[in-house]
Structure 1
Amino acid sequence: MKKRITLSLLSTALLMGCISPSPMPLVGTDRDEKGCIPSAGYTWSELKQQCVQPFEIADIRLTDPENPPLAVYVILAEEQGKAEVFSANLPKNLILEAVKGGYAEKDKHLYLIKTQTGWELRKPTRS
């Protein structure tokens, strides 16, 4: 009886070893419409015209005013008079145009202002 149980368990263990595991998805196989790999932190930059990791190349790093655990990254293209803002709270990155004292979105919904203590993101106050 012991031999039969041992043989049965051994056979089951051998058969279980023949089952192939489901393949794990490879990191980096996800690409967006521009060919960037979001799982590796890449996103398309309109200013750079290439896939970038904003957290690696940002000229300005700020705390997200709407969600302090997150960051906002800004790439400057001073020669073009533009700044590109990357934030988790934005559906896509915003291009800001140079104005006196910083940069502003065309529709004036967001400002990047140079202050004495550094850069700040501001939304206009509504009266």
Structure 2
Amino acid sequence: MFLGSLVFAQKADSHTKIGGGKDAHGCLVSAGQTYSQIQKKCLQSFAQKVKLVEQNPTESYTKQTGVIFSKDMKKAEIFLPDGKENSMILSKSGKESVWKKGEYALSPEGKGYELKKNNVVIYK
């Protein structure tokens, strides 16, 4: 009798969905996906080519963020782990080399980029 119950329990569990939580855009949250406004699809921000690392961590770990650029390089999308939104779009015009939005500015620095908030480097 016990063996039959065990087999039944295993079979029932094999049909249970694991990690099925999706956000409003259908992105699989448990897989670290978030929606990109620039690419119009779900992606893993931490797996992007351009990555920035937190400069002055307040936690016992260092946070990381990804950056995606529009094809014309006029917009940059950043994925801030502590942001109210999943991502933020910064823009530049003309021949400027800095993407801006409010208190944030993203600029080329050496071979990479740095993100400033109120003129203080927060990610590099």
TM-score by length of 2: 0.72
Structure with higher Rg: it is 1
Q: Which runs of 5+ in 1 are unaligned?
A: 1-13
Tell me what 1:96 maps to.
90
Checking the alignment, whether the CA contact within 8 Å between 1:85 and 1:94 is kept in structure 2 is yes
Q: 1:39-50 alignment to 2 at 5 Å?
A: 39-50=30-41
Q: Which structure dedicates a bigger proportion of its chain to helix?
A: 1
The ranges of structure 1 where at least 4 consecutive aligned residues each deviate by more than 4 angstroms after the TM superposition are none
Tell me what 1:65 maps to.
55
Percentage of matched positions with identical amino acids = 25
**1:27 correspondence with 2:8:** no
Q: Which runs of 5+ in 2 are unaligned?
A: none
* 2:112 aligned to which of 112, 115, 118: 118
Deviation at 1:80, TM superposition (A): 5.5
Structure with more contact order per residue of length (Cα contacts < 8 Å, sep ≥ 6): 2
* 2:5 aligned to which of 18, 39, 43: 18
Q: CA RMSD in A?
A: 2.6
Query: How many matched pairs?
Result: 110
Checking the alignment, whether the CA contact within 8 Å between 1:36 and 1:51 is kept in structure 2 is yes
